[in-house]
Amino acid sequence: MEEVLKRFAEISTDPYTSLIEWKEKTGKKIVGCFPMRIPEEIIHAAGMLPVVMWRGNEAVTLGHSYVHNFNCGLTRSFIDDVMRGKMDFMDGMIFYRSCLQAEEVPSTIELNAPPHHFLYLYLPPLYPGKAFGDFVIHELKRLKENVEQWSGQEITTDSLNNSIEIYNKNRSLLKKIYELRKKKPGTIKAREMLTIVHSGMLMDKEEHNRLLERLLPELEGKKETPNGKIRVVLAGSLCQTPHTVILDLIEEAGMVVVDDDIYVGSRYFANEVIPGGDPMEALADRYMKRLPPDPTMGDWKTLWTDYMVDKVKENNAQGIISLLIKYCPPHLCYYPDIRRRFDKEDIPEIMIEVEHEVVSIEQTRTRLQAFMEVIKGGA
Amino acid sequence: MAQEFTINRLETTRLIGPMVDEHWKELREAKQKGEKVAWCSGVPFIFAYAMDMKCHFMAGYSAYCAGRKAGERVLEIAENTGELPDTCSYHRLHMGMAEAVKNGIPVREDVILPIPDLMIAGRVCPEMSHYAEALYRKFGIDVVGIDLITPYQESDYPFLEKYLEQQFKEILIPKMEEVCGKPFNYERMSQILTVLKKTATLRNECLEYFKKVPSPWTLWDYGVSLAPVIYLMGKPETVPYYEKLKAELEERSKNNESAILPEEKHRVFWDGWLPWGFLGHFARKITSYGANPISGRYPWEMFPRPDLIEPELDPVRTYVKALYTGSMLGNNMAKPGLSLVSEIVPEYHIDGIIFFTAKSCRIWKSQLTVLEKMERKYGIPGVTLEADMADQKMFSEAQIDTRLNAFFEVLEARKEKKRWM
């Protein structure tokens, strides 16, 4: 178990080395996808490796000349990595607009350090109306045509169905691990859970599946240690990883994470692609799913706050921690409603702002300790 | 003693205030008259106008509110109701105003907005959707969503036009018919477009005067003259406004009269939003260097190709064409924007570029790249100024002054070098 977790942590903290090694070994192309909405299966079916763009571990340096410091961590860090040549191994990059900050990245890269293959998609919001469903299909077809050209390999119904099966298996394995954590909280640390999910975004999915299959029985066999810790749910961190040090601080303060509603977490694998019909339509159907609610998607009727409250209640959690990425517009615009709703429900909630370079460890620790005391006091 | 510069104000621009005031007054009083009201982000407000529905325009209202110096109070109300300071200031302005009206919190009479019956969320940027979503959650206000994509590149226009036309025809028009209880008035839309075409054509003729050295007007003058080619669209008085403006510019031009007195020393390009909350403040600062901001991407967005508007044909299709093929929706994006700035710099004899960056709005893409490319291509200096469209708290006087001083020093030095060479 330790070996597998160590491997996941290595990949999550240094994807550059493992991806370069993978490329040298396989001779295949690597395509970076902007987080959240790009169906990786299509790229996989073309015989390439899709990876989800990430926020690196280093402070932004050269990137300052290309992007304002009031952009979020992921956009600044990724641009910085590209400008420093750290992403030169990526053969292609695919972008779309999930927010205004995300829109800053593609043109900055294409105009300064264009990758060999480049695609900008217009993935629509989930507004009511046929036009939006039609346009999802239009854009997924454009994606398919482009990646076929890049790889020189036609995507057949069979190859796409095969990729869907591999990705669905990955989702199902991750779900099992999450179910285990719910039953036996504390058997997997929050930091470990993050690297389990994150590594899967940065490596060959079949290899990730094999490692998850090794990990699962070992986790199942692990005994629960009753600890009486405060049960909390994490929410937010919409398209990027939160700092693992924040996750450690949560646990050090005497809390245990029982579930989450974060992107590098349960949101990544929440929906499977329903197989059976036309695979492109099946992928479009997954795109159009309204749960988990995504505040970047303009769906005003499906309340994110309902989903969060349900998450807290179904997990018998005692509080929720909002991880708000500094300068994240969709989360900023939604946050006042989140705050009001949890006040109304009388569920303790705390917002921790996550910046790329700076983690005010002592301040965060104090706030988390105070949060825990509030929960204990109310219990 | 340093030379003192002043702006030689135009007479015609004094006429704009009453026109704009009347628009917002009509909106404020609509509910008392039993009329329906919409709030709209982006350009779909024409569909409400065509149905004789009073409609606000999100960016126009924000500019008006901030320009009237009422923004600070409304932003304070927003903050008191939980809005976070990094959030788009236009979003916060609307949240604050809705809270004020719903809960009877006092704000200045002249900036009050009535609570709408319908939110038309034109998603030019996602925040323009988020504010409508938030008002639905808060007050249950009806929303119709339109994906007004800003195009990444010119080659995408054909399929984006098809997508937008489908949304207007299948989603927005039926919704307007449902809300207003009558068939959509295509004829009225054509009439509005006919007036817009005339006004925007005259406006383009006025823009030509910016090419003259010295320029007879400033971007500040044009900034306050934007409403007739955007949210005052279709009002008959917009045509005589631009006719008068053109005549005044022609007169000045004949006399070689400069907009900056005693002389136009520098011609600068102003990129990004106009700083509505601090327009006078910035105008005085820039003028003190003898500089005239004579063009910019944002003002150039307002229906720059009126020749493409053909009101006698399908008004919806021609409107969509004006938005994409007519280069209206893409100028804030880096690739279409870079083409525009590249054209403007030599055509308007630009000496330097000021990029205004709004901390709470990232709609202007890859500004630092566009700036660097222009500096290299034309050998002119550039500077970025960080502030906001409306939020005073994001404005740092010392930082702006330091950067402007450095910028104009470099600009002077380069000009000297050019003369000497």
Q: Provide the 10 A C-beta neighbour count for residue A211.
A: 21
Per-position DSSP letters for A48-72, written without gaps between them? -EEEE----SS--SGGGGTS-TTS-
Q: What is the pLDDT of residue A66?
A: 96
For the segment B189-215, the average pLDDT, to the nearest whole number, is 97
Indicate the residue of A98, A138, A327 with minimum beta-carbon distance to B159: A138
Can you tell me the distance from the alpha carbon of A66 to that of A79, in angstroms, rounded to the nearest whole number? 8
Determine whether the interchain pair B152/A107 forms a contact, defined as Cβ–Cβ distance below 8 Å: yes
- CA of A147: how far to CAs of A54, A92, A105, in Å? 21, 9, 20
Helix (H, G, I), strand (E, B) or coil at B386: strand
| B150 pLDDT higher than 80 | yes
Residues A131, A137, A138, A139: what is their CA dihedral angle, to the nearest 10 degrees? Answer: 110
Integer angstrom CA distances of residue B389 from A99, B20, B90? 19, 19, 8
Query: Can you tell me the distance from the alpha carbon of B200 to that of B184, in angstroms, rounded to the nearest whole number?
Result: 25
* Contact check, Cβ <8 Å, A336/B86: no
pLDDT of amino acid A144: 98
**pLDDT score at B420:** 52
**pLDDT for B186 beyond 60:** yes
- Max CA-CA distance within chain A? 63
Please indicate whether, in this complex, the C-beta atoms of B152 and A120 are within 8 angstroms of each other: yes
Test A332 with B87 for CB contact under 8 angstroms: yes
Phi-psi region of A226 (alpha: psi -120 to 50; beta: other; left: phi over 0): beta
Residues comprising chain A, all counted? 379
At residue A379 the predicted structure's pLDDT band, cuts being 50, 70 and 90, is low
CB pairs under 8 A between A and B: 146
Q: Does B198 touch chain A (CB under 8 A)?
A: no
pLDDT tens digits, one per residue of A80-111: 999 999 999 999 999 999 999 999 999 999 99
Is the pTM higher than 0.95? The answer reads yes
Query: Element (H or E) spanning A131, and its range?
Result: helix A130-151
Which tokens hold the place of A219? Answer: 């986790």
Cβ within 8 Å of B, A 138-177: 138
Cis preceding linkage at B262, omega within 30? yes
Q: Rounded mean pLDDT of A127-148?
A: 97
**Mean pLDDT lowest among A115-124, A133-142, A147-156, B335-344:** B335-344
Residue A280: what residue type?
M
Which residues 71-100 in chain B show a CB within 8 A of chain A?
A: 81-84, 86-88, 91, 95
DSSP state of B359: T
CB contact under 8 A, B134 and A334: yes
* Nearest chain B Cα distance for residue A300, angstroms: 5
A-interface mutation test, from B88, B93, B133, most A Cβ less than 10 A away? B133
Cis peptide before A330 (omega within 30 of 0): no
- Say whether A334 and B82 touch across the interface (CB within 8 A): no
SS3 state at A37: coil
Helices A130-151 and A279-287, packing angle to 10 deg:
120
The total number of residues shown for chain B amounts to 421
Interface of B with A in 114-143 (CB under 8 A): 121, 123, 125-127, 129-134, 136-138, 143
- Note the pLDDT of residue A163: 98
Is the preceding peptide bond at B214 cis, omega within 30 degrees of 0?
yes
The nearest CA of chain A is from the CA of B81 a distance in Å of 8
- Chain B residue numbers with beta carbons less than 8 Å from the beta carbon of A131 are 147, 163, 166-167, 170-171
Work out the mean pLDDT of chain A and round it to a whole number: 96
Is there a contact between B136 and A330 if contact means CB atoms under 8 Å apart? no
Nearest in space to A93 (alpha carbons), one of A126, A116, A72, A76:
A116
B143 pLDDT band, cuts 50/70/90, is very high
Is B335 in contact with A132 (Cβ distance < 8 A)? Answer: no
- With CA atoms as reference, report the closest residue to B119 among B144, B95, B138, B99: B144
Quote the pLDDT of residue A82. Answer: 98
Handedness of CA B360, B362, B363, B367 (dihedral sign): positive
**Side chain identity at A66, as an amino acid letter?**
Y
Q: What interface predicted TM-score (ipTM) does this complex get?
A: 0.96
What is the rounded average pLDDT of the residues B15-32? 95
How far is A114 from chain B, CA to nearest CA, in Å? 13
What one-character-per-residue DSSP string does A331-350 give?
Answer: HHHHHHHHHHHHHHHT--EE
Q: In this predicted structure, what is the pLDDT of residue B421?
A: 44
Residue B312, number of CB atoms within 10 A of its CB: 9
Q: Say if residue A376's pLDDT is above 50.
A: yes
Mean pLDDT in residue range A47-54: 98
Residue burial A289-327, b: 16+ Cβ < 10 Å; e: rest: beebbbbbbbbbeebbbebbbebbeebebbbbbbbbbbb
Percent of chain B with pLDDT over 90: 91
- Measured CA to CA, the distance from residue A199 to residue A207 in angstroms comes to 11
Residue A32 phi, psi dihedral angles, 5° rounding: -85, 135
Instruction: State how far Cα B287 lies from the chain centre.
Output: 21
Contact B333, B157 (CB under 8 A): no
What are the backbone dihedrals phi and psi of residue A353, each rounded to the nearest 5 degrees, phi first? -85, 130
A326 and B CB contact within 8 Å:
yes
Helices and strands in chain A: count of H runs, count of E runs? 15, 8
SS3 B270: strand
- The answer to whether A100 contacts B167, with C-beta atoms less than 8 Å apart, is no
DSSP reduced 3-state for B144:
strand
Sequence-distant (≥ 6) Cβ neighbours of residue A140 within 8 angstroms: A39, A42, A280, A283, A284, A287
DSSP letter for each residue of A146-181: HHHHHHT----HHHHHHHHHHHHHHHHHHHHHHHHH
Examine the pLDDT at B151 and tell me if it is beyond 90.
yes
CA distance A365 to B30: 53
Interface check B388 vs A, CB under 8 A: no
* Pair B316, B134: CB distance under 8 Å: no
DSSP code of residue B156: G
B359 lies within 8 A of chain A by CB: yes
